[in-house]
């Protein structure tokens, strides 16, 4: 059993009185891969360090595998941590680096060899076990750091932004490696990153943090399609969700969302009941770029068409990003490469309001 439970966990730095983590409640299930994500200073690394025992807990309760661990030192928590830096011993071979913790524990040599060879096979390191770190690529060094954690066979893996030192191509490759490793070893994992793409691709569940608090917990699809707050709606997704000041107006038996004097949309009937109590309020209208596209013959009746003048066009190969302005707010759409007009030209677009969101700017809650 390797469940990790945080109940009302709080971190206050006594010298300054700064509250880094506010009464956090989180339950990581046995074998689950949970990612803590958020901007710098949101408390995600502090939370991970409290789980690891590298930061003291000001108040609240932390348990690992059903055991209360608030006052246990890191070495007694049965966890293994992979840091941003590789922290490999330069004078040791890959085998010796991976075996180091087991050697200190005076494990039988045969057991050490079996564990290292198994981890090396999982990570594709078998052919480099005799090399030293300086002879490895950045991706290989990071895999050695992960392998060193795997051989310990801990209850919980903790990852603190392990890919941030790698270039873009290696980060993508290592994301796949880490996901493949978890599918094989099924160890409970808590992973910290500021990269929301990394979080979405790796996690069983994502914990979005902001200002030392949890904004929302959910699967990647839940967070992407059903955000509960303005912060989650704008943070999850690349490019970010378009958020446009708007006003909800009654229109006979229906509703209209007005974005400017010249642009308004009919609210889908399926959403009218949910929004009806918010007419005449100042709101934010949210729609992701992929739901603003060129008009397509096969989608007659899906979405509502409008014409705008393009400000910027960004070709990206498989798709083209188009940017335009609605009443002073920049808006992004995603269109087929062959459909995009040039900057400064008018273009007919279609907005699929079946995926719209309305946000109350006073509470920052998604309606």
Query: What's the rounded Cα separation, in Å, for the pair 210 and 223?
Result: 15
The pLDDT score that the predictor gives to residue 169 is: 82
What is the model's pTM?
0.89
Q: Does residue 365 carry a pLDDT above 80? A: yes
Same domain, 181 and 277: no
Locate all alpha helices (DSSP H) within the chain, ordered by sequence.
44-52, 94-104, 109-123, 138-150, 168-185, 196-202, 220-225, 230-235, 269-275
Residues 222 and 147 in one domain: yes
Q: What percent of the chain has pLDDT over 90?
A: 66
Domain match, 212 and 332 both: no
Q: Identify whether residues 203 and 343 lie together within a single domain.
A: no
The last residue of one of the domains, among 227, 260, 295, is 227
Q: Lowest mean pLDDT: which of 149-163, 168-182, 294-308, 336-350?
A: 294-308
Helix pair angle (94-104, 109-123), 10° resolution: 140
* Same domain for 214 and 247: no
Residue 56 sits in the same domain as residue 90: yes
| Distance in angstroms (rounded) separating the CA atoms of residues 84 and 37 | 15
Q: What's the confidence (pLDDT) of residue 299?
A: 53
pLDDT single digits (tens) 34-71: 999 999 999 999 999 999 999 999 999 999 999 999 99
Q: Which of 198, 227, 256 is the last residue of a domain?
A: 227
b/e map of 43-55 (b: 16 or more CB within 10 Å)?
bbbbbbbbbbbeb
The pLDDT assigned to 86 comes to 77
Indicate the pairing of strand 242-251 with strand 79-82. unpaired
For the chain, what is the domain count?
A: 2
Q: pLDDT for 305-330, tens place per residue?
A: 999 999 999 999 899 999 999 999 99
Read off the CATH number of the domain in which 127 is found: 3.40.50.300
Q: What is the average pLDDT value for the chain, to the nearest integer?
A: 91
Residues 222 and 309 in one domain: no
DSSP, collapsed to helix, strand or coil, labels residue 126 as helix
Mean pLDDT of 18-31: 96
Answer yes or no: do 75 and 21 share one domain. Answer: yes
pLDDT at 238 over 80: yes
Domain boundary, last residue among 227, 252, 283: 227
Regarding whether 51 and 136 lie in a shared domain, the answer is yes
Residues 139 and 170 in one domain: yes
- Give the pLDDT confidence score for residue 105 in this predicted structure: 86
Q: Model confidence over 164-173: pLDDT tens digits?
A: 877 888 788 8
Segments forming the whole domain that contains residue 335: 242-366
pLDDT tens-digit series, residues 90-145: 999 999 999 998 888 888 999 999 999 988 988 889 999 999 999 998 888 888 98
Mean pLDDT of the 204-227 span = 96
Asked whether residue 175 falls in the same domain as residue 255, the answer is no
Cα(283)–Cα(243) distance, rounded to whole angstroms?
10
**Integer angstrom CA distances of residue 126 from 92, 131, 147, 162:** 16, 10, 11, 21
Measured CA distances, 30 to 33, 157, 164, 281 (Å)? 9, 12, 27, 45
| Residue 222 pLDDT | 96
């Amino acid at each position: 059993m390797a469940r990790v439970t945080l109940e009302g966990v709080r971190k206050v730095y006594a010298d300054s009185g700064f509250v880094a983590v506010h009464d956090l409640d989180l339950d990581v299930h046995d074998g689950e891969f949970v990612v803590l994500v958020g901007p710098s200073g949101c408390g995600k690394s502090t939370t991970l360090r409290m789980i690891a025992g590298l930061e003291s807990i000001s108040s609240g309760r932390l348990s690992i595998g059903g055991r209360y661990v608030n006052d246990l030192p890191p070495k007694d928590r049965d966890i293994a941590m992979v840091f941003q830096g590789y922290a490999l011993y330069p004078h040791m071979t890959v085998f010796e680096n991976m075996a180091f913790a087991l050697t200190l524990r005076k494990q039988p040599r045969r057991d050490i060899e079996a564990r290292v060879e198994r981890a090396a096979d999982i990570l594709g390191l078998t052919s480099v076990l005799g090399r030293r770190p300086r002879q490895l690529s950045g991706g290989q060094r990071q895999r050695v750091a992960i392998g060193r954690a795997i051989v310990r066979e801990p209850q919980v893996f903790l990852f603190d932004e392990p890919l941030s030192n790698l270039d873009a191509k290696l980060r993508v490759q290592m994301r796949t490696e880490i996901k493949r490793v978890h599918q094989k070893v099924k160890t409970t994992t808590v992973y910290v990153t500021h990269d929301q793409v990394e979080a979405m691709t790796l996690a069983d569940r994502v914990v979005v943090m902001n200002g030392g608090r949890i904004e929302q917990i959910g699967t990647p699809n839940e967070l992407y399609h059903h955000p509960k707050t303005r912060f989650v709606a704008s943070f999850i997704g690349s490019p970010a969700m378009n958020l446009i000041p708007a006003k909800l107006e009654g229109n006979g038996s229906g509703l209209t969302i007005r974005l400017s004097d010249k642009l308004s949309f009919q609210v889908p009937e399926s959403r009218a009941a949910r929004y009806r109590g918010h007419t005449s309020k100042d709101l934010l209208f949210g729609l992701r770029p992929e739901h603003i596209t060129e008009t397509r013959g096969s989608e007659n009746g899906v979405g509502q068409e409008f014409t705008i003048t393009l400000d910027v066009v960004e070709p990206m190969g498989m798709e083209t990003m188009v940017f335009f302005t609605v009443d002073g707010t920049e808006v992004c759409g995603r269109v087929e490469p062959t459909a995009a007009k040039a900057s400064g030209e008018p273009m007919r677009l279609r907005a699929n309001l079946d995926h719209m969101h309305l946000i109350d700017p006073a509470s920052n809650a998604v309606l």
